[in-house]
Amino acid sequence: MQYYLYRPQDKQRSWFLVLLLLLIFYNITGGLFPDPNIPIPIVLQNILAYAGGFAVASYVPYYFYKGFELDDIRFHALYGVPLFLLLPFFIFFVVIYAIDQNLDKAIDYGVIIPFFYSFVILVAIAKAIWKKYRKRTQQNNIVEIIALYAAILPWVSMTIIAYFHLSQLLEVLLTNGGFIFISILFFTRYISKARREYEQLIGANNQSNIYFHENCKVYQLTSREIEIVELIKAGNKYREIAEILFISERTVTTHVQNIYQKINVSSKVALIQKLEQKVHLSLYEG
């Protein structure tokens, strides 16, 4: 959350945060409800408990669609899930169950369509993953494919577990196990992305350093003036520059004024920006 607030444009992290919040909601409602000691109607407790599971299962296809750029499952993520997962839940677990308060009936009828549709989603995601990665035979990509499949299966199994009335412990273990796989994938991809950005930044800095030294020659800065500009670029103040170079602060000020005149700038920011710009041939010709 901290990193997302720092960089809200990072969509990968926002999608992961939504998944995390839904999983927390699922674990809390599934762990606490139903409990007659809690001052909430049992019917509402059951609705909330099953809502957590359906919400997580419904969001996962969208997360794979956006987070892993699986464009082939766009229909399922945007339209199939609302029709075949959320709508049956609303009809049987919210409307009908609230009326007749028969939970077994809601489970028996409410998960029939999601039960069969979960296999459709499984096949669709599997095909999308294979299509996306089939041309990438590197070992790292093969590991990621296996991990993706391992992350999908627990979420698909949620409706199967509900349909056959299997134990809640099995459901929680599978669901949270799937989240662990997704978390590993998320952090692995994010670390790789951060490394690539860092390498690009280093490359850009190296490029700007080349321009910097070339521009210093173009503007005919002396070796002492180049030293002062480099120290300014590093964030040092005039007093600190004077101490480093064993000269007076007034001498530093004089050098800076001469530098400003040569480069035709009036501030430190403009000075650094101009010296890091790409060298123009017209300057050499002049």
Task: Output the pLDDT for position 144.
Answer: 67
pLDDT single digits (tens) 184-202: 877 887 787 777 765 654 5
In degrees rounded to 5, what are phi and psi of residue 134? -65, -25
Segment among 45-49, 100-104, 234-238 with least mean pLDDT: 234-238
At 100, which amino acid appears? D
Task: Output the pLDDT for position 2.
Answer: 75
CA distance 147 to 155: 14
pLDDT confidence bin for 142, thresholds 50/70/90: low
pLDDT confidence bin for 64, thresholds 50/70/90: confident
The secondary structure of 159-176 as a DSSP string is HHHHHTT--HHHHHHHHH
Average pLDDT over residues 103-107: 90
The secondary structure of 71-101 as a DSSP string is GGGHHIIIIIHIIIIIHHIIIIIIIIHHHH-
pTM value is 0.64
Average pLDDT over residues 248-264: 91
Task: Output the pLDDT for position 204.
Answer: 46
Average pLDDT over residues 53-72: 87
Task: Output the pLDDT for position 136.
Answer: 59
Task: Output the pLDDT for position 89.
Answer: 94
Task: Output the pLDDT for position 69.
Answer: 81
